[in-house]
Amino acid sequence: MRRVLAVVLLAALTACGSTDTSGGKDKVNAGVIAIVDTAPIHLGKAKGFFDKHDIDLTITPVQGGAAAISGVVSNQFQFAFANVTSLLAAKEQGLDVKVVANGVSSTGTPGEDFSAVLVKADSPIQSAADLAGKKVSVNQLKNIGDTTIRATVRKAGGDPSGIQFVELPFPDAPAALQNGSVDAIWVVEPFVSQALSQGARAVAWNFAEATPNLTVAMYFTTGKADADLSGRFAKAINESLAYAAEHPDEVRETLKTYTKIAPDVIAKIKLPKWPAEINKESVTAIAEMAKNDGVLKSVPSLVE
């Protein structure tokens, strides 16, 4: 009888150990947009920060915040990256999203940020206020682009109510500006540098000017996620953010591994900031702006 119990116990222990195929690490799939903003998670994986916290990380490219959110909610991803407005909208719609770490932030410095509104060199538009009544491209309607542009126009003394926003993917925006399809474009790096090199001129730095030190995007999961795993993921992300902030040259090298940005452009682009701390005041400010613009019906509580 004792021998039978010993065999059963040994089998149980063996079975428990065999469920982990990653050497004691939790397998995690993160849905992440392949843009400049997300360099820290790629760099952190390469540096072993996730391994250090017993996470076997797979980074899966997604097209945007909507795909990231649906992927997390449907359990395709354990964690993902999305901008503040997308997460606020998801929360308002009753989706179970829970922020776990900062993702990327504005530099807070006009002229030295990774997001800008650009016009042709000979455009009569000279400032953000002049965007009133003009046709401006954004990559997604009713999102962080038009919200921050409206805020910037108001701060400059203009009336944003008459702006005609046109949905246009970032890669197509510089050409649309050149051929006159729109009066101005909103783009982020590397498209800011690309358009500037083609003769475009910046008239607004919407992330930097909308609200101080804007938290632009964050990493998130669901409210049902394992608390221990979420904590370890957050620690790994925070280490990755800190490392990226201190090693911009390594960030630029990392960009060559997961984006299609040309090396000469990578050398020129303006990098964002990657603080570990979320600027809660800026998140609330964006929510209030979006509510005033009719993008949101309320001001959801997103960051605990």
Q: Is 17 exposed, middle or buried (0-12, 13-18, 19+ CB in 10 A)?
A: exposed
Mean pLDDT by 10 residues, the chain (304 residues): 34 32 83 96 98 98 92 97 96 96 98 97 97 96 96 96 95 95 97 93 98 97 96 98 98 96 94 97 96 94 87
Contact 102, 275 (CB under 8 A): yes
Report how far residue 82's alpha carbon sits from residue 90's, in angstroms, rounded to the nearest whole number. 10
Contact 147, 168 (CB under 8 A): no
- Answer yes or no: same fold for 27-105+213-291 and 115-210: yes
- Would you list the domain boundaries of the chain? 27-105+213-291, 115-210
Residue 143, both tokens: 């999102």
What's the pLDDT at 20? Answer: 42
- How far, CA to CA in Å, does 229 sit from each of 69, 91, 121, 140, 201? 19, 22, 50, 32, 45
Strand order in the sheet with 98-105: 55-62, 26-33, 79-83, 215-221, 98-105
**CATH code for residues 27-105+213-291:** 3.40.190.10
What's the pLDDT at 10? Answer: 34
Which of 43, 55, 283 has its CA nearest to residue 148?
Answer: 283
What's the pLDDT at 24? Answer: 87
Task: Say if domain 115-210 classifies as CATH 3.40.190.10.
Answer: yes
What's the pLDDT at 23? Answer: 67
Length, in residues, of the chain: 304
What's the pLDDT at 63? Answer: 87
What's the pLDDT at 146? Answer: 95
What's the pLDDT at 138? Answer: 96
Strands 55-62 and 26-33: parallel
